[in-house]
């Protein structure tokens, strides 16, 4: 049931504050400022994580790599499942494999799980459908409590995956002695603010819709980000191409001058995802390079970022200021809305885009 919404996708976008709140409440002890360690995982004994998934779930894993490395000093290998399953990568004996899947039936992700299991790895699955094959075959189940996701373009499952992974990375940081109880408390409090921040960002819907009218006219679009905003750029580009069929690519902002800058002209807008964080200034120099070549910038940032960037943009979407750990969750929303409204303007079948299946059970 779509309720008052025109498509399942937009309904699911709007469900995110609730779904994320619900999922976080499962993994965090909010009253005591503690991230719960999932039972069956001894983070102090693990020396390497390998994360495997496809599509949007892979991008959730990519964000998690930054979190686990930074907060828990745990090295993370991140792989696309279709590559991982055949690569015969040597896995650490004290490693943990995490697979991520909304449906729990993705053929390549399941094959990766089986490969890792065969190599003696313990498997944790971040999964939304609890009766799925991946959920059944994993040693440790880390449910996302997103409810059924109908739109082929994943939205609420993505932020629910990020919620599980963020909470688990904080728990790992504490268990490994990297984070103090005080650090942990701060991060848990920051995460608990996500639903409220998401509500605020959903109010930008009209501004984003107006911008989508412009985006619907272009043939190509670039997304840039650094740090955890890099996987969000990848996810933004995937969302746009999946449902609007506009060619979009996500790049690490620092890679711009290693090739993609050759594409920049006034016909190729550049969406820059840049909260005012420790790498913000670096991204500003990339935006200047774009602007100097006549590129039109859509900047997604906060008030501080807007002031510090001091750059002419086609549009600037201003989000509230927030701690770094929560930016991937909250900045996912404007890129989802931008793709959604663009697709609606293009008149595509938003919930059932051409050539795509909700669950990819063949390789
Ligand atoms: O069910 P899964 O999470 O394993 O699916 C993985 C991908 O097929 C999925 O995320 C796909 O990329 C979506 N269409 C993205 O919107």
- Which pLDDT tens digit goes with each residue over 55-76? 999 999 999 999 999 999 999 9
For the chain, give the mean pLDDT: 96
- Which pLDDT tens digit goes with each residue over 214-263? 999 999 999 999 999 999 999 999 999 999 999 999 999 999 999 999 99
Give the model's confidence band at 295: pLDDT under 50 very low, under 70 low, under 90 confident, else very high: very high
CA distance 318 to 299: 8
CB of 133 shorter than 6 A to ligand 1: no
DSSP assignments along 329-363, one per residue: HHHHHHHHHHHHHHHHHHT--SSS-TT--SS----
CB of 352 shorter than 6 A to ligand 1: no
Q: Tell me which of 204-208, 223-227, 258-262, 357-361 is least confident.
A: 357-361
pLDDT on residue 158: 98
List alpha helices for the chain, DSSP H.
8-14, 16-27, 55-72, 81-87, 107-118, 133-137, 156-175, 181-192, 194-202, 205-215, 229-244, 280-292, 303-309, 327-346
CA distance 306 to 277: 12
pLDDT at 212 over 90: yes
CA distance 200 to 297: 23
Give the model's confidence band at 359: pLDDT under 50 very low, under 70 low, under 90 confident, else very high: confident
Residue among 360, 361, 363 to mutate when testing ligand 1 (max atoms within 8 A of CB): 360
Across the range 158-172, mean pLDDT stands at: 98
CB of 359 shorter than 6 A to ligand 1: yes
Pairing mode, strands 220-225 and 28-29: unpaired
ipTM computed for the complex: 0.99
Cα(239) to ligand 1 centroid in Å equals 11
Place of tokens 């930054």: 66
Across the range 315-333, mean pLDDT stands at: 98
pLDDT at 363 over 90: no
Pairing mode, strands 76-80 and 48-53: parallel
pLDDT on residue 357: 86
CA distance 172 to 166: 10
CB of 242 shorter than 6 A to ligand 1: yes
CB of 152 shorter than 6 A to ligand 1: yes
Strand order in the sheet with 297-302: 247-252, 220-225, 270-273, 297-302, 315-319
Q: Which ligand 1 atom sits closest to the C-alpha of 158? A: 10
CB of 52 shorter than 6 A to ligand 1: no
Residue among 53, 55, 111, 142 to mutate when testing ligand 1 (max atoms within 8 A of CB): 55
Q: Which of 266, 206, 281, 268 is nearest to 237 (CA)?
A: 268
CA distance 131 to 137: 10
pLDDT on residue 246: 97
pLDDT at 349 over 90: no
CA–CA distances in Å: residue 146 to residues 52, 125, 227:
20, 15, 26
CA distance 320 to 268: 27
Q: Which of 21, 16, 334, 330 is nearest to 156 (CA)?
A: 16
Q: Which ligand 1 atom sits closest to the C-alpha of 360? A: 8
Q: What is the share, in percent, of the chain residues with pLDDT greater than 90?
A: 94
pLDDT on residue 330: 98
- pTM of the predicted model over 0.90: yes
Give the model's confidence band at 164: pLDDT under 50 very low, under 70 low, under 90 confident, else very high: very high
Q: Which of 245, 319, 246, 237 is nearest to 277 (CA)?
A: 319
Give the residue with greater pLDDT, 142 vs 359: 142
Task: Name the token pair of 75.
Answer: 């090295």
Element (H, E) at 226: none
């Amino acid at each position: 049931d779509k309720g008052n919404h025109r498509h399942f996708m937009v309904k699911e976008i709007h469900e995110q504050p609730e779904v994320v709140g619900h999922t976080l409440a499962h993994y965090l002890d909010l009253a005591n400022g503690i991230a719960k360690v999932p039972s069956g995982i001894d983070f102090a004994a693990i020396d390497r994580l390998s994360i495997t998934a496809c599509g949007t779930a892979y991008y959730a894993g990519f964000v998690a790599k930054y979190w686990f490395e930074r907060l828990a000093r745990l090295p993370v290998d991140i792989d696309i499942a279709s590559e991982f399953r055949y690569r015969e990568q040597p896995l650490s004996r004290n490693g943990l494999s995490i697979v991520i899947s909304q449906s729990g039936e993705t053929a390549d992700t399941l094959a990766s799980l089986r490969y890792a299991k065969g190599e003696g790895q313990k498997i944790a699955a971040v999964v939304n459908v609890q009766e799925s094959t991946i959920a059944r075959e994993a040693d440790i189940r880390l449910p996302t409590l997103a409810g059924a996701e109908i739109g082929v373009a994943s939205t609420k499952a993505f932020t629910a995956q990020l919620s599980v992974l963020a909470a688990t990375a904080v728990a790992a940081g504490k268990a490994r002695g990297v984070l103090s109880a005080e650090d942990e408390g701060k991060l848990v409090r920051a995460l608990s603010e996500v639903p409220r921040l998401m509500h605020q960002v959903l109010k930008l819907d009209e501004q984003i819709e107006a911008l989508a009218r412009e985006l619907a006219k272009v043939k190509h679009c670039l997304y840039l980000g650094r740090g955890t905003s890099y996987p969000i750029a990848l996810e933004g580009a995937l969302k746009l191409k999946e449902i609007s069929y506009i060619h979009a690519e996500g790049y690490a902002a620092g890679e711009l001058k290693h090739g993609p800058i050759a594409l920049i002209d006034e016909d190729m807008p550049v969406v820059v995802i840049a909260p005012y964080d420790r790498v913000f200034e670096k991204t500003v120099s990339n935006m200047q390079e774009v602007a100097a070549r006549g590129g039109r910038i859509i900047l997604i940032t906060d008030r501080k970022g807007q002031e510090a960037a001091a750059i002419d943009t086609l549009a600037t979407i201003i989000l509230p200021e927030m701690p770094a750990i929560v930016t991937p969750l909250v900045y996912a929303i404007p890129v989802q809305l931008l793709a959604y409204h663009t697709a609606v303007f293009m008149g595509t079948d938003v919930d059932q885009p051409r050539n795509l299946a909700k669950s990819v059970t063949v390789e």
